[in-house]
Structure 1
Amino acid sequence: MQIILASTSRYRQEIISRLGLPFEAVAPICDETPLPGETALDTAVRLARSKAQSLATRYPAALIIGSDQVALLDGQQIGKPGSFEKGVAMLQWMSGRTVVFHSALALYNSANGRLQETVGITRVTLRQLTEQQIRNYLTREPDALHCAGSAKSEGLGGALLQKVESDDPNALIGVPLFDLISMLNAEGVEIL
């Protein structure tokens, strides 16, 4: 059965490629705006499901992987900053604090309509950062502006972090890989 990753994120593609299975990465059709009153957990799950199911018509006999990540601090969802100055402000707010990342995963079998879902929770404590350190980081890691809160743990972003608590280190990068392996096994896909 064909495997589709409903994402164009190179980080998610890299994680999925570790499994050694052929797959195709395709942009999902999904509005990622949180709904009013929606919790971070509910937003992440809804978006992962929506991304996976959005490609079902195009791929009627495939296993479609959808994933989404929402960060939460002080009861507020933290999105992607989109601009340098917003990235600075977000990291200043997060500096020295613990942020909870909800990494939702959905595997949709478009042939039979079976949907499997899970959420990986990662608690990330950032170091106490100066404004100059934040600006240096964002200048050297411009891709971080496309990550929740500009907190990209890969590469130089590791210098932002003081502590990471998770059952699956891949979840912070965007895909709870351990759960994905179990989901694929449930669909008859042998990894080993």
Structure 2
Amino acid sequence: MTRRLILASASPQRAKLLDQLGVAHTAIAADIDETPQPGESAEALAERLARGKAQALAERYGEDAVLGSDTVVALGDRLYGKPADAADAEWMLASLAGTTHRVVSGVALCVGGRCVSRISTSTVTMRETTAAERAAYIASGEPMGKAGGYAIQGRGAIFIARLDGSYSSVMGLPLFETAALLDEAGFDLLGAMA
């Protein structure tokens, strides 16, 4: 496979995860509106945003394969994106504390005018947290830019009591689903290991 892969993301976590698959790629941010539509489920939103990111760059880089991904945290019907500011991060972390919530990641691959997507859903149980713990965590800056206001791969891990599902998906790029899409598109993942 000589086709170039573009990761439609500025996320260093997604780039590191894609590196794990051994696939050379170029990361380019895709700027799309991430506002949920009325009544939209976490699954529908994550898939729509993943497709939107991939399609936005596929229009500009038609010769290349473009991979988009997005992650949404959901507690019941309430959707959590990235916190707008410290107060929003505090609200998210306080409302998720002591709960078991869903983390949904969508991944989409656009190649040659065709776009295919997959969804990965995990459940995360967060322990109860104190206001002081949340304030210290928010002061670290880590919650900003993270769905639900926490990073399981960072300091936020101290709040996570249980994960059922995919660790890479909660980080932002479900590797099992990503590998399946890349394999279907002709990327030689096992050959990259040689």
Quote how far apart the aligned CAs of 1:74 are: 2.9
**Equivalent residue for 1:3?**
5
Q: Do the aligned residues in 2 keep the contact of 1:137 with 1:156 (CA within 8 Å)?
A: yes
Alignment of 1:13-24 (within 5 A): 13-24=15-26
SS at match of 1:136: helix
Q: Do the aligned residues in 1 keep the contact of 2:106 with 2:117 (CA within 8 Å)?
A: yes
Quote how far apart the aligned CAs of 1:75 are: 1.1
Q: Deviations over 1:92-115 (max 9, x none)?
A: 111100110110010110x2x222
CA RMSD in angstroms, aligned pairs only: 1.1
Alignment of 1:16-55 (within 5 A): 16-55=18-57
Q: Deviations over 1:125-144 (max 9, x none)?
A: 0011111111112222x031
Count how many residue pairs are aligned between Structure 1 and Structure 2.
188
CA distance in 1: counterparts of 2:76 and 2:117, whole angstroms:
26
Quote how far apart the aligned CAs of 1:163 are: 0.4
**Equivalent residue for 1:184?**
182
1:60 corresponds to 2:58 = no
Gaps (5+ residues) in structure 1?
none
Paired-residue identity, %: 34
Which amino acid counterpart does residue 123 of structure 1 have in structure 2?
T
Q: Give the structure-1-normalised TM-score.
A: 0.94
1:153 corresponds to 2:155 = no
CA distance in 2: counterparts of 1:146 and 1:184, whole angstroms:
26
Q: Do the aligned residues in 1 keep the contact of 2:58 with 2:65 (CA within 8 Å)?
A: no
CA distance in 1: counterparts of 2:59 and 2:168, whole angstroms:
29
**Equivalent residue for 2:114?**
114
Gaps (5+ residues) in structure 2?
none
Q: Give the structure-2-normalised TM-score.
A: 0.93
Q: Do the aligned residues in 2 keep the contact of 1:99 with 1:123 (CA within 8 Å)?
A: yes
The ranges of structure 1 where at least 4 consecutive aligned residues each deviate by more than 3 angstroms after the TM superposition are none
SS at match of 1:61: coil
Q: Deviations over 1:166-192 (max 9, x none)?
A: 0x3210001111111111111111111
CA distance in 1: counterparts of 2:147 and 2:20, whole angstroms:
23
Q: Do the aligned residues in 2 keep the contact of 1:4 with 1:62 (CA within 8 Å)?
A: yes
